[in-house]
Each structure stands twice: as structure tokens, then as C-alpha cells.
Structure 1
Amino acid sequence: MCSDKNWSADEEHSSKLVRKARESPFVPIGMAGFLGVVAYGLYKLKSRGDTKMSIHLIHMRVRAQGFVVGAMTLGVMYSMYTEYFVPKEPGEK
């Protein structure tokens, strides 16, 4: 039995993904950036020169993680901005 109040048996996975993306738009941006960095790193794998494979993969992982951490940081900053600095209407929480 699921204790999540937002869960609905009629809600499909695609509509749930769209709803979650609207609630926190930086999550799909972070995921897309991660996949982009990994795809670019794999594409550049053949022209890495005389760099060791392990060093190339470590650099690719650090870049991908950096993109995700940056997207998460921007998301937190955006949510803090909307929560604390944007004036709210009198009827809102």
C-alpha cells in the first residue's frame, strides 16, 4: 500500500513525468546535461590522443557530475528566490 497522497492509479508514467518536470524543471535539465556530457565524452574517446583511458573516463565523470550539481544548485537557488523574495498575493501561503 502506497502512502503517497499524490499517487493515483489512473496516472500514467508519462503524465507523472511531465507533472514532476513542471514542479522542478531543473531535474530534466540536469539529466539532459549529464547525458550530453557523457555522449560527448564517448564521442571524443577515439581522439583522446595518448591520454590513458582511465584518466579520460575520470574527467568525463567529473564533468558530468559537475553539470548535475550545477543544475541542482540553480534549482535550489530558484526555489529559494520564489519562496523568499517574490512578493506573494495576500491569499497565498
Structure 2
Amino acid sequence: MLSDSDVSLLTYDETLGSKHARKAKEAPFVPIGIAGFAAIVAYGLYRLKNRGNTKMSIHLICMRVGAQGFVVGAMTVGMLYSMFQEYWAKPKP
């Protein structure tokens, strides 16, 4: 016979891929923020060789600010999107 804890473990059994898909569907701007962050970091590493006379610390600070700005922007847009879905797009009973 199954105990209560065994039943709860069976109902929440999901693979890593299905968990990520479910979370991405609940908050669609999180993967966009992560992808943008990774793209800005990759661009910063690519431009590291051709930065000209710019100091290394200034280059890294600019890349950090750009990456953080993209993530904060994606979080803000995601919050506004969820507020729109919750309060304005919901049909009134």
C-alpha cells in the first residue's frame, strides 16, 4: 500500500526537460533574459581582442552593465506582462 508521501512523489515526477518547458511557459521572459545575457557575454568575449585603447576594466564594466541591463529589462517586461495577464486580460465574471 502506498503512503501519502509515496503518492505525492508519484504525482510530481517530471523530467528536467518538462520542468523547464513548464517554467518557460509560466514565465516566458526568463529564458529570453538568460539568452540575452549569454549573447552579451559572448559578444563581450569576442570583442575583448579588438577593444583598442580601452582599458580591460572599462571594457568589462561596460559589458557587465549591458548584460545586467538586459536581464533587468527582461524581468521588467515579464512582470508587466504577467500583470497585464492577471488584471486586464482576465475576463470579468
The corresponding residue for 2:8 is none
TM value normalised by structure 1: 0.84
- Segments of 5+ residues of structure 1 without an aligned counterpart are 2-6
- Output the aligned Cα RMSD: 1.9
Matched, 1:21 2:24: yes
User: How much does 1:82 deviate?
Assistant: 1.1
Deviations 1:3-55 (A, max 9, x none): xxxx81x2011110011000000000000000000000110111000111111
Deviation at 1:86, TM superposition (A): 1.3
How many residue pairs match? The answer is: 85
Which residue does 2:88 correspond to in 1?
Answer: 85
Moved over 6 A (4+): none
- Structure with the higher fraction of residues in helix conformation: 2
Larger radius of gyration: 2
Identity of aligned residues (%): 65
| Alignment counterpart, residue 65 of structure 1, candidates 52, 65, 68 | 68
TM superposition shift of 1:89: 5.4
